[in-house]
Amino acid sequence: MSASTYANVLELAAGLVIVCAVVTLWRRSLSAIVKTLAVQGIALGVVALTLGLHQHDDVLITVGCLVICSKGALIPTLLGRVLASEPKSRETSPLVNVPASLVGAGALIFLAYGATAPVVDLVGTTPGRLIPLGFATLLVGFFAMVVRRKAASQIVGLLLVDNGIALVAFLATAGVPLLVELGATLDVLLVIVVLRALAGQLWSRFGVLDLDQLRELHD
Amino acid sequence: MSTLAHVISAVVAGVVQVGVVCVGGPLLLGLMRKVRSRLEGRTGAPVHQPLLDLRKLFAKQRVSPEQSSWIFPAGPVVLVATAVAVAAISPLATTHPPLGQSSDFFAIVFVLLLGSVFIALGALDTGAPFGGMGSSRAMTIGALAEPALLVAILAMSIPAHTSNLPALVRLGLVHPAVLVSPTRILALGSFLVVILAESGRLPVDNPNTHLELTMIHEAMVLEYAGPDLGLTILGESMRLMLLLGLLVNLLIPWGVANRPGALLFGVGIVVLAAKVAVAGAAIAVFEVFTAKLRLFRLPELLAGGFILAVLGVVTAVVSR
């Protein structure tokens, strides 16, 4: 792979990750958001694969394949099952309307660029220049968790944060160790299982899946 | 070649470009209608029907509403004049159009905006309720679309170090890697959203409706008749052709003449017509499968366009 192709593919894949993060704020339908997350997971895997192929790092290539399988296929499928079990909540119910949250995301993206400028100077490699995109994905994920109250939307936000952290890790260091990446992916899987149980409980008790209902403790 | 020959060839190129846009705009409109009606199972009017309509309209008598001022007839004239001016200096078939040095992307956007503003003023001038409603809606959409377009242009000019439009097209020809950079793709995505909004296509405005609750552009031109209406239709179709032509040339610049020469210029015209026809047909197919968005959902679409442009700027700054 020539140097310019390598930089181009890396830029495109990292750009796709942040575009997907913004699209999750843009779309209302939860099933469309889950599809977007799948695309983001694949883009993240492509970043790891490209880096691995360029640095001839077998572990990074393995991590890339794993990321594509887990974040591109497994987690979105599980999340899709959770959504299918909640027939009444096909749409997100954002606290902030969509145009305002998009403008907020724009501000966060610039904030991420400003905040990571010293890190970019420190790393100084081709992938290092793309670190702000990963950090921006992380901030957009936090933002999505704050402004959306449905249990499934919170998981979407958490996945965005996770993907952002993974992107920064791939770009800043030559990738996290395989064990750490596996651990993080398992954590997210566990959270989805817990969410599945929580959603069932919420549904049977309140008939809605709004986390604001969980304000009091019960015996 | 001497300076005089350069000037003459540039002037000829400009005149030919204006002619192509003048005839091509209505033909593009006819093609989009044809594609739409074929997909809906109708035969549809022939592709050159808008040209026939224009001939019919221009042969009619001029009428204007009572108590309307000079602004009412001036609206369509300014619309066509701005479209002609932009057609002459844009890099449509050649990257060396006349006055190419001054065909800045920002300047072109604002010259086109002048036409929209005059049509809105003309609609307000008659005092008819529909005109005012249409103007207010069109200006609202314009106010939301313009920032997205300006940021998109900013994103495209960062890697090129200039906002000169012929230079942007030339950069794509010389360095094809620019074309697949996320910056260019995101900025052009935002540009496409703005084109759909500014030229009143679905999902922003339905060009075929005369339903009072939903029409935007048609409400503005409701009072025009005869030659004035003809000029409005001509101007709007020229703008659509211009914007689509600029979009395809920034997306896929191959075929645009990068050196002077009649043969290359002729090839440029043919390639431009083909590219714009494909883009127009694609938009027509998209329109068949889309419903018009509610007016209150439009800010979401345009905010999406804006955020794409912002991402374009960020990726441009990041990958510099």
Predicted local confidence at residue A176, as pLDDT: 64
Would an 8 Å CB–CB cutoff place A11 in contact with chain B? yes
Would an 8 Å CB–CB cutoff place A22 in contact with chain B? yes
Predicted local confidence at residue B247, as pLDDT: 93
Predicted local confidence at residue A149, as pLDDT: 74
For residue range B68-108, list pLDDT tens digits in order: 889 999 999 999 999 999 999 888 888 888 877 788 889 99
For residue range A130-146, list pLDDT tens digits in order: 888 999 999 999 998 88
Nearest to B82 by CA among B57, B117, B121: B117
For residue range A7-48, list pLDDT tens digits in order: 888 888 998 999 999 999 888 888 888 899 999 999 999 998
Looking at the partner chain, which of B304, B310, B319 has a beta carbon nearest the beta carbon of A109? B310
pLDDT bucket at A219, cuts 50 / 70 / 90 = low
pLDDT bucket at B19, cuts 50 / 70 / 90 = very high
- B119/B209: higher pLDDT: B119
For residue range B238-279, list pLDDT tens digits in order: 999 999 999 999 999 888 888 877 888 889 999 999 999 999
Check whether B202 has a pLDDT greater than 70: yes
Range of weakest confidence among A153-157, B20-24, B243-247, B280-284: A153-157
Both structure tokens of B8: 């003459």
Nearest to A212 by CA among A125, A141, A150: A150
Distance, in Å, from the CA atom of B166 to the CA atom of B187, rounded to the nearest integer, reads 17
Query: Between helices B226-251 and B165-174, what is the axis angle to 10°?
Result: 30
Backbone angles phi, psi at B192, to 5 degrees: -65, -45
Predicted local confidence at residue B53, as pLDDT: 94
Mean pLDDT over B116-141 rounds to 90
Q: Kindly report the pTM of this predicted structure.
A: 0.87
Both structure tokens of B103: 């065909």
Contact B132, B154 (CB under 8 A): no
Nearest to B207 by CA among B179, B240, B165: B240
Nearest to B32 by CA among B268, B215, B253, B283: B283
Spell out which residues of chain B touch residue A12, defining contact as CB-CB under 8 Å: 180-182, 185
Backbone angles phi, psi at B94, to 5 degrees: -140, 150
Mean pLDDT over A67-76 rounds to 87
Nearest to B85 by CA among B18, B26, B6: B18
Spell out which residues of chain B touch residue A133, defining contact as CB-CB under 8 Å: 314-315, 318
| B317 contacts A102? CB cut-off 8 A | no
The Cα of B174 is separated from the nearest Cα of chain A by a number of Å equal to 15
For residue range A136-173, list pLDDT tens digits in order: 999 999 998 888 877 777 888 888 988 998 888 888 87
Check whether A195 has a pLDDT greater than 60: yes
For residue range A77-111, list pLDDT tens digits in order: 888 887 777 666 666 677 788 888 898 999 999 89
Predicted local confidence at residue B284, as pLDDT: 93
Looking at the partner chain, which of A8, A103, A132 has a beta carbon nearest the beta carbon of B177? A8
Mean pLDDT over B213-237 rounds to 89
Check whether A50 has a pLDDT greater than 80: yes
Backbone angles phi, psi at B256, to 5 degrees: -75, 130
pLDDT bucket at A208, cuts 50 / 70 / 90 = low
A77-81: Cβ within 8 A, 24+ apart? A78/A189, A78/A192, A78/A196, A79/A34, A79/A37, A79/A152, A79/A155, A79/A156, A79/A159, A79/A192, A80/A31, A80/A34, A81/A196
